[in-house]
C-alpha cells in the first residue's frame, strides 16, 4: 500500500465506513422485521439481510484490509494507546483476526447446524423432551470446540469463546467472580425466601391502561435523557434497542395491561442501551470503534438505569406522584415506599428472563458452569438435564418440574454460541461497580434523583463510558473509570444492603 | 465465461439477485426515512443509501455482467420472445447499456448539478424569481443534451431521454398523441368552465374525522384487492407506494380533516400501484424483470383504480351507504349521485398536482413541449416563463400570476431529468385503453363494481399486465393486452362521455 500514514488511514476508514453503512442498513432491515414488516415479507427480507451481511463480511475480510492493518500497526505504534488512530487500528485488528480466523467451511457448518437445530429445539421444548434435542447439542458442543481451536487459547477453551464477546475476559477471572457470587447469593436468596411475605407486589397486577403506560414510559425515559430527536419508541414482541448511527438510536417495548413492570422497566432498560449509543463520540462514527465495548458493557448501561436508578427509592419519591396521577385507580391506597418494595420483590424462579435482581446471576452462573464442563468434556450432553436440575435445586432451592422450564428454556444452545451468557452477569456487576464510583464523585446523587435531575449522572456516564465506544476492553474501561478491573464486590455490597433492608434481614445488616 | 447456458444464466441471476436485494434494501431505508426516521437520522441515512446504491451500481455494471450478456444473447436467440430467459437477457441488456453508456464523469456532473440547483430552485420558487434559477436550468438543459448524445438517437434528442423511462416510445408518437389531446381537451375544458356551476363539491370540505378516514380508506383498498398480508399502510408527507419483494408492498397516505379526497383517493391511487407489484410473477422475482414496465405503466394502474373505478358511479353506488354510516354528519343531505359529481368536479387550475382528470394532461403537454424546445434549442431558457404563461393561457384559459405558481412549481427541472413528465399522461391513456378492452371482456363489469366485486377485474389486470413485470415495453404490453400500441382514442372517448354527461354538455353528447 503506497502513500503516507494519512493515506493509509483514510483508505482503511473508507472501507470501514462502507462496512458500517452495510451493517447499519442490515440493522434497519431487522428492526423493520420486528416492528412493521407484514407477514408476507419474510422470504425477501431474509434474502436482503443475508446479501448485505455477506457483502459486509467479504469487504471487511478482504486482503486489502489485512495489508493496511499490517502497515498501520507500525504507523501508529508511537501514538498514545487511547488516541483515535491507535485505537482504530488495534480494535479493527482484533475484529479482523476474529473474522478471518474461522475457516469458511467451519462458518458454513456453524450456520447449517444452527438452522437445523433450532426447529428441533422448539419441538423438544414444546414437548419438554430433551432427548430429541441432545444429538444437535452434541454437534453444537463439538463445533464450539472447533471454534475455540481455530481461534486459539492459552489455558482453557472457553477463553477463546468468551473473548469473542467480552474481549480480555478470562475463564479464570469469571470463575473467581462467580464463586464469590455463589458464596453470597445462595444464602441471601434463601434468607429472602424465608421472609417472602414481607414484600407484597399485588399492586403491579391490578390492571393498567396500555396506552397510558406507553405514554408514561416514553415521557419518563425522555426525562432520563433519552433524546427523541435522535430516537423513537415502537412496539415489538421482544423489546430491544438498535442503532443506525449517532442520530438514530431506537427502542422497542411491549405492554401488558395485567403486569405493570413489563412496559415501564422494559422501556427504562432499553433506553439505557440507547443512551449508551447516543453518547458515543462523533469522532468515532462510521468506524468499528462506534458501538458497545461488549455485550456485557452494553448490558451494564441498561441495568444501571433499570435497576440502580429505576428501582431505587429516590427515583420513586420523584416519579410516584405523577404515576398516581396517571393511574389513580390501580394505585389507590399504595404509597411510594410500598410501590418501591413491590417493584423490588425477590423470589427464586425457574425462568432466567423473569428472574429478579438477586437471583438473576445464579441463572447465569449455572449456564456458565455447564457450558464449560460440556466444552471440556467433563459433562456429557446426555447428563445435562440431571446436572441442571441438581444444581438448580442447590443454588435456588427449587425442583425443576420439566425440561421445558429447565434446560430447554433458552434458545442460545440451539445455535453455536457458548460464551454469551456471562455477559448478562458482567453487565450487572459493571453497573454496580460504576455506581460505587459515581457515588464518590456525585455525593448528592440521591438528592438529584429525588428531584428528577439526571443530567449530571448521564454526563458522568457519557464522559467515562459512552463516548469511548469500543476503544477499550471491558476491563480497560473499568480500570479507567473506577481504578479496578471487573470485580463482584460492589454488586454484592449493593444487593446485601438493598435487599437486607427491604426484607429486614438481620444477618447482612452491618 | 465457461459452462453451458444454464450455468451462465445462473451466474447472471446470482449477480442480479444481489443487485435486487441491495436496491430493495435501499427502498426500505427510503421508506423509513419518509415514515418513522427521527430527525437526527438524516446524515447516517444518506450515507447508508448512497453506499448501498453505489455497491449495487458497481456490481450491476461490472464487466462480468457484460460478458455474460454477450454470450447469453446467442444462447437465448432461439427461445420465444416472451420466455423468462429471453426476456431476462433482453431487459438486462437494455438496463446494462443504459447504466454503462453514460461516462462516470458525466454521472458525477449530473449529480453535482442537481444538488447545486435544488436549493436555488427552492429559493427561486419561494421568492417567485425565475432569474435566480435560470443559470442552473441552462446547465441542466446542456447536461440533458449530453445525456442524449451519450445514449444516442436516430431522430430527435428527446427520443434518447424518453426511452430511459418509457422504453420504445418516440417523440413523434408522443407529439401525435398530445396534438390529438390538445384538439379535444382545450375546447372541452373551456366548455366545462362555462358550466362550472353544475357541479358542487362543497360537501368534500365539511370536515371528516382523520382516524375514521384512515380506517375507512384501508378497509376500502383491502376490498379492491390490496393484500394486507403482503402490505401495510403508513402516514407520510408525500404519499407513495414502494415494494421490497412480492410479499412486502407498502403504501403511505396522508389525511386532512378539511378535504376528503386527499386520504381516500390517495389511498386508492397508491394501492393501485401496490396491487401491480403484488401481482408480479414469482418466476421473475429477484431479477430486473420484477418491477413496473415503466413509470407510465405504473401510473396507469394507480389511475385505473383511482379514476376509472374509484370515481365511477357504480363504485359509489356500492360504497356510499357505508361511507354515510361512517360519516353521517358531513354527508347529511347528500345522495350518492351528488357525491359522485362532487368527487369529479373539473376546473382549470394552476398547479399540476392538484389538477382534475380532464385538465391534468394539458399540464403535462405544456411541459413536454417546453422540454423539447429547450432541448432542441428553439426555446431559450430566459424566454421560458413567457412561453409558459402564454401557452397556459391558451391551453387552460388562466393567467399565471407569478412564477411560483407557474414555471417554478415542479421540482423536476431542478435536477437533470427531462423525459419524466410524459409518463403521467401515458398512464392516464393506458388506463382508459385497458378499460375499453376490459369492458368487452367483462360485459358485466359495472354490475360487479356496484356489488363491490373486484376479483374478476383484478384478475384481468394480473393476467394481462401485472404478472409480466418489465418483460414487455409499454407498447408491447398494450399490443398484447388490447391489440394496439398506445393511443389517445379511448381516453378521449372516456372523458367526453363522462364529463359531457356530468356537466350536461350538448356538443359532445352523441
Helix/strand/coil for A212: helix
Q: Which of A16, A25, A46 should one mutate to test binding to chain B, selecting the residue with the greatest count of B CBs within 10 A?
A: A25
B13 neighbourhood in chain A, CB within 8 Å: none
CA angle A129–A134–A136, rounded 5-degree value: 120
Average pLDDT over residues A41-61: 95
Sign of CA dihedral B455, B456, B461, B462: positive
Block residue for cell numbers 366545462: B192
CB contact set of A406 (below 8 Å; sequence gap of 6+): A350, A385, A388, A389, A392, A400
State residue B2's pLDDT score: 65
> Could you give the CA distance from residue B52 to residue B22 in angstroms, rounded to a whole number?
6
With CA atoms as reference, report the closest residue to B284 among B49, B13, B4, B11.
B13
pLDDT of A78-102, one tens digit each?
Answer: 999 999 999 999 999 999 999 999 9
**Residue A508 pLDDT more than 70?**
no
CB contact set of A82 (below 8 Å; sequence gap of 6+): A471, A472
Average confidence score pLDDT of chain A:
96
State residue B510's pLDDT score: 41
| B43, B51, B227 ranked by CB distance to A22: nearest | B51
Active site residue A270: yes
List the catalytic residues of B: 270
Q: Is B450 on the interface with A (CB under 8 A)?
A: no
pLDDT of B328-344, one tens digit each?
Answer: 999 999 999 999 999 99
| A41, A246, A247 ranked by CB distance to B248: nearest | A41
* Predicted confidence band of residue B508 (pLDDT cuts 50, 70, 90): very low
Q: Is B53 on the interface with A (CB under 8 A)?
A: no
CB contact under 8 A, B227 and A21: no
A129 neighbors A403 (Cβ within 8 angstroms):
yes
Nearest chain A residue to B23 by CA distance is A48
Q: How many CB pairs under 8 A join A and B?
A: 131
Q: Which of B16, B28, B242 should one mutate to test binding to chain A, selecting the residue with the greatest count of A CBs within 10 A?
A: B28
pLDDT of B79-104, one tens digit each?
Answer: 999 999 999 999 999 999 999 999 98
| B41, B45, B248 ranked by CB distance to A40: nearest | B248
Grid cell digits, residue A286 = 462510521
H/E element holding B435? Answer: helix B422-441
Neighbours of A214 (CB within 10 A): 18
A38 neighbourhood in chain B, CB within 8 Å: 228-232, 247-248, 250
| A21, A42, A286 ranked by CB distance to B247: nearest | A42
Q: Is A440 on the interface with B (CB under 8 A)?
A: no
State residue B36's pLDDT score: 97
CB contact under 8 A, A230 and B38: yes
In this prediction, what percent of chain B has a pLDDT beyond 70? 99
Nearest chain B residue to A25 by CA distance is B48
* Predicted confidence band of residue B3 (pLDDT cuts 50, 70, 90): confident
CB contact under 8 A, B48 and A244: yes
State residue A417's pLDDT score: 85
With CA atoms as reference, report the closest residue to B98 among B51, B68, B69, B61.
B61
Q: Is B14 on the interface with A (CB under 8 A)?
A: no
Block residue for cell numbers 368534500: B204
H/E element holding A272? Answer: helix A261-278
* Predicted confidence band of residue A509 (pLDDT cuts 50, 70, 90): very low
Nearest chain A residue to B40 by CA distance is A247
Average pLDDT over residues B143-166: 95
CB contact under 8 A, A286 and B47: yes
Q: Is B57 on the interface with A (CB under 8 A)?
A: no
pLDDT of A305-362, one tens digit each?
Answer: 999 999 999 999 999 999 999 999 999 999 999 999 999 999 999 999 999 999 999 9
In this prediction, what percent of chain B has a pLDDT beyond 90? 96
pLDDT of B483-503, one tens digit each?
Answer: 999 999 999 999 999 999 999
| B36, B51, B286 ranked by CB distance to A21: nearest | B51
CB contact under 8 A, B227 and A40: yes
pLDDT of B115-135, one tens digit each?
Answer: 899 999 999 999 999 999 999
State residue A3's pLDDT score: 83
State residue A506's pLDDT score: 75
Among residues A166, A262, A270, A336, the one annotated as catalytic is A270
CB contact under 8 A, B18 and A55: yes
B367 neighbors B421 (Cβ within 8 angstroms):
yes
End-to-end Cα spacing for chain A? 64
Block residue for cell numbers 421560458: B384
A469 neighbors A284 (Cβ within 8 angstroms):
yes
Q: Is B29 on the interface with A (CB under 8 A)?
A: yes
State residue A474's pLDDT score: 98
Q: What are phi and psi of B363, to 5 degrees?
A: -60, -40
Average pLDDT over residues A263-288: 97
B248 neighbourhood in chain A, CB within 8 Å: 37-38, 40-41, 44-45
B234 neighbourhood in chain A, CB within 8 Å: 36
* Predicted confidence band of residue A485 (pLDDT cuts 50, 70, 90): very high
A227 neighbourhood in chain B, CB within 8 Å: 40
pLDDT of A357-387, one tens digit each?
Answer: 999 999 999 999 999 999 999 999 999 999 9
Q: Is A230 on the interface with B (CB under 8 A)?
A: yes
pTM value is: 0.94
State residue A510's pLDDT score: 41
Block residue for cell numbers 444437535: A136
pLDDT of B411-439, one tens digit each?
Answer: 999 988 899 999 999 999 999 999 999 99
> Could you give the CA distance from residue B116 to residue A440 in angstroms, rounded to a whole number?
54
pLDDT of A234-251, one tens digit each?
Answer: 999 999 999 999 999 999
User: How far is CA A494 from its chain centroid?
Assistant: 20
**Residue A507 pLDDT more than 70?**
no
Amino acid at each position: 500500500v503506497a502513500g503516507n500514514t494519512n493515506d493509509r488511514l483514510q483508505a482503511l476508514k473508507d472501507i470501514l465506513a462502507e462496512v458500517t453503512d452495510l451493517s447499519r442498513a442490515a440493522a434497519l432491515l431487522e428492526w423493520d422485521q420486528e416492528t412493521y414488516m407484514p407477514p408476507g415479507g419474510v422470504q425477501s427480507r431474509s434474502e436482503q439481510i443475508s446479501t448485505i451481511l455477506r457483502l459486509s463480511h467479504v469487504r471487511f475480510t478482504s486482503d486489502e484490509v489485512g495489508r493496511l492493518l499490517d502497515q498501520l500497526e507500525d504507523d501508529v505504534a508511537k501514538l498514545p494507546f487511547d488516541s483515535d488512530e491507535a485505537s482504530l487500528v488495534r480494535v479493527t485488528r482484533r475484529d479482523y483476526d476474529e473474522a478471518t480466523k474461522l475457516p469458511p467451511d467451519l462458518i458454513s457448518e456453524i450456520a447449517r447446524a444452527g438452522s437445523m437445530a433450532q426447529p428441533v429445539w422448539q419441538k423438544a421444548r414444546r414437548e419438554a423432551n430433551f432427548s430429541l434435542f441432545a444429538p444437535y447439542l452434541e454437534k453444537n458442543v463439538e463445533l464450539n470446540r472447533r471454534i475455540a481451536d481455530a481461534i486459539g487459547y492459552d489455558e482453557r477453551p472457553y477463553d477463546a469463546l468468551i473473548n469473542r464477546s467480552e474481549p480480555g475476559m478470562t475463564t479464570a477471572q469469571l470463575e473467581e467472580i462467580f464463586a464469590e457470587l455463589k458464596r453470597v447469593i445462595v444464602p441471601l436468596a434463601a434468607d429472602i425466601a424465608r421472609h417472602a411475605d414481607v414484600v407484597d407486589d399485588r399492586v403491579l397486577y391490578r390492571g393498567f391502561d396500555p396506552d397510558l403506560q406507553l405514554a408514561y414510559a416514553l415521557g419518563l425515559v425522555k426525562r432520563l435523557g433519552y433524546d427523541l430527536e435522535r430516537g423513537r419508541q415502537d412496539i415489538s414482541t421482544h423489546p430491544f434497542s438498535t442503532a443506525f448511527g449517532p442520530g438514530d438510536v431506537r427502542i422497542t417495548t411491549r405492554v401488558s395491561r395485567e403486569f405493570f413492570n413489563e412496559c415501564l422497566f422494559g422501556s427504562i432498560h432499553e433506553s439505557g442501551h440507547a443512551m449508551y449509543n447516543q453518547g458515543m463520540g462523533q469522532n468515532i462514527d462510521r468506524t468499528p470503534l462506534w458501538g458497545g465495548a461488549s455485550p456485557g458493557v452494553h448490558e451494564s448501561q441498561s441495568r444501571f438505569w433499570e435497576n440502580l436508578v429505576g428501582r431505587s427509592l429516590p427515583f420513586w419519591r420523584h416519579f410516584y406522584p405523577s404515576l398516581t396521577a396517571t393511574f389513580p385507580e390501580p394505585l389507590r391506597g399504595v404509597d411510594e415506599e410500598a410501590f418501591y418494595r413491590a417493584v423490588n420483590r425477590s423470589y427464586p424462579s425457574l425462568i432466567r428472563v423473569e428472574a429478579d435482581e438477586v437471583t438473576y446471576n445464579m441463572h447465569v452462573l449455572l449456564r456458565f458452569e455447564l457450558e464449560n464442563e460440556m466444552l471440556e468434556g467433563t459433562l456429557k450432553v446426555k447428563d445435562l438435564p440431571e446436572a441442571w436440575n441438581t444444581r438448580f435445586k442447590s443454588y435456588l432451592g427449587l425442583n425443576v418440574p420439566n425440561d421445558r422450564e429447565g434446560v430447554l428454556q433458552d434458545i442460545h444452545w440451539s445455535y453455536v454460541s457458548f460464551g454469551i451468557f456471562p455477559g448478562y452477569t458482567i453487565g450487572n456487576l459493571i453497573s454496580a461497580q460504576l455506581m460505587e464510583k459515581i457515588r464518590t464523585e456525585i455525593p448528592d446523587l440521591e438528592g438529584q434523583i429525588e428531584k428528577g435531575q439526571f443530567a449530571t449522572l448521564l454526563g458522568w456516564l457519557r464522559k467515562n463510558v459512552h463516548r469511548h465506544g469500543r476503544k477499550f476492553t471491558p476491563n480497560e474501561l473499568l480500570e479507567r473509570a473506577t481504578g479496578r478491573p471487573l470485580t463482584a464486590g460492589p454488586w454484592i455490597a449493593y444487593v446485601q444492603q438493598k435487599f437486607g433492608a427491604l426484607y429486614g434481614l438481620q444477618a447482612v445488616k452491618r
